[in-house]
Amino acid sequence: MIKPHGSDELNPLFVYDNELRHALLAEAETLPSLLLNSAAAANAVMLGGGYFNPLSGYMNLADALSVAEKMHTVDSLFFPVPILNRTSETGVAAGSRIALRDPNVEGHPVLAVMDVEAVESISDAQNAFMAEKIFRTLDPEHPGVATFNSLGDTLLSGPIQVLNFSYFQTDFPDTFRTAVEIRNEIAEHGWEKVVAFQTRNPMHRAHEELCRMAMEQLDADGILIHMLLGKLKPGDIPADVRDASIRKMVEVYFPPNTVMVTGYGFDMLYAGPREAVLHAVFRQNCGCTHLIVGRDHAGVGDYYGGFDAQTIFDEEVPADALELEIFKADHTAYSKKLNKVVMMRDVPDHTKDDFVLLSGTAVREMLGKGIAPPPEFSRPEVAKILSDYYQSLDS
């Protein structure tokens, strides 16, 4: 199986030893507490699950600035975005041991224990520098920039021991999986070549066929459909609805034992190209050999060019940085001429009128009225689940 990023073995920060975990939970009740923001909590969950291998905890300011600028730490570890614990609290001292509490679960249970190696202040100029490098914009209307600017100017760095997976394991027991669990399941399947498909949205016909195209062209053993389960921007479809629609599509339209439907506990960054590279890093940690990167991958609005998330791998990611490879996809749509879904770049003789193209707004309006989109755009079984959701919003 493909190696994890940056090490020979995966090193999840979750404490799997039950006795030690219970001892740490008891110790945590005696420690000073810090209530995390959602971004820092999501980072802890990802560190716990092995997704951010080989990191041992939160980055310090020097590493954060280096990663933002050059996509590697001061010690030359390739990493595409800073993994931070930012706060507005100023009462934490370097050298202390603290309990990190979960902002997303009632009662704020302990999520992790942290050994604080450094407490540093982020200046406005340093914050702006990182935001511009990560998001390619400083526009406060960009949802990722808005969140990044709100996280606090005190930076706590150091190793952590993760004690639970927040709400993801309880709210999504059939879907949430750690990188450790995904690697184990890939090994059980005997898969060697595995293609990952990233999604924060339901999957329509074009997405379904894109997975099938990648699997066939790469002669892959299986597909990992890997959905984000954390916080999104207003208006995005909730994770449970996406989960149900994707599972129905796989159940009806894919051969048995060719697709794993899973999810990961992270908040969307909307960082376009940089987030695409982060997706590649943690899919390699999952054991995937390829990642589908399509048009406007992890983008939002008009902040990124349609294929910036592909060109970053050619122009900015060192050739030896990752073992995982990228499957570059064009926009896919149903061709009326050929009666099948195609990549637009493969049919230069087509005009816009030769495709079944619907805007997201038009699809939402149709579903909200109980009108199914054409079957060339969305499978009827998927459309039914989405229609029920949109109609429930108006009831």
Q: What is the pTM of this model?
A: 0.94
Say yes or no: do domains 18-169 and 173-394 share a fold: no
Cβ contacts of residue 204 below 8 Å, gap of 6+?
A: 373, 377, 378, 379, 382
Cis previous bond, 54, omega within 30? yes
Query: For the segment 126-140, what is each residue's pLDDT rounded down to a tens digit?
Result: 999 999 999 999 999
Average pLDDT over residues 274-293: 98
- Tokens of residue 338, six digits: 């050929």
Task: Give me the pLDDT at residue 390, please.
Answer: 87
Instruction: Assess if CATH 3.10.400.10 describes domain 18-169.
Output: yes
Residue type, 180: V
Domains of the chain: which residue ranges? 18-169, 173-394
Name the DSSP class of 257.
T
* Residues recognised as catalytic: 200-201
pLDDT of residue 367: 85
At 231, the pLDDT band (50, 70, 90 cuts) reads: confident
Phi-psi region of 4 (alpha: psi -120 to 50; beta: other; left: phi over 0): beta
Please compute the mean of the pLDDT values over residues 135-164 and round it to a whole number: 97
Provide the pLDDT for residue 395. Answer: 62
* pLDDT-based confidence at residue 239 (cuts at 50, 70, 90): confident
The confidence band for 238, taking pLDDT boundaries of 50, 70 and 90, is confident
In tens, the pLDDT along 303-344 reads: 999 999 999 999 999 999 999 999 999 988 899 999 999 999
Residue of 237, 261, 250, 278 lying closest to 177 (CA atoms): 261
Where residue 221 falls (left for φ over 0; alpha for ψ -120 to 50; beta otherwise) is alpha
pLDDT of residue 260: 97
The CATH number, out of the four listed (3.40.50.620, 3.90.180.10, 3.90.950.20, 3.40.190.10), of the domain defined by the range 173-394: 3.40.50.620
Give the CA dihedral 174, 177, 180, 181, nearest 10 degrees.
20
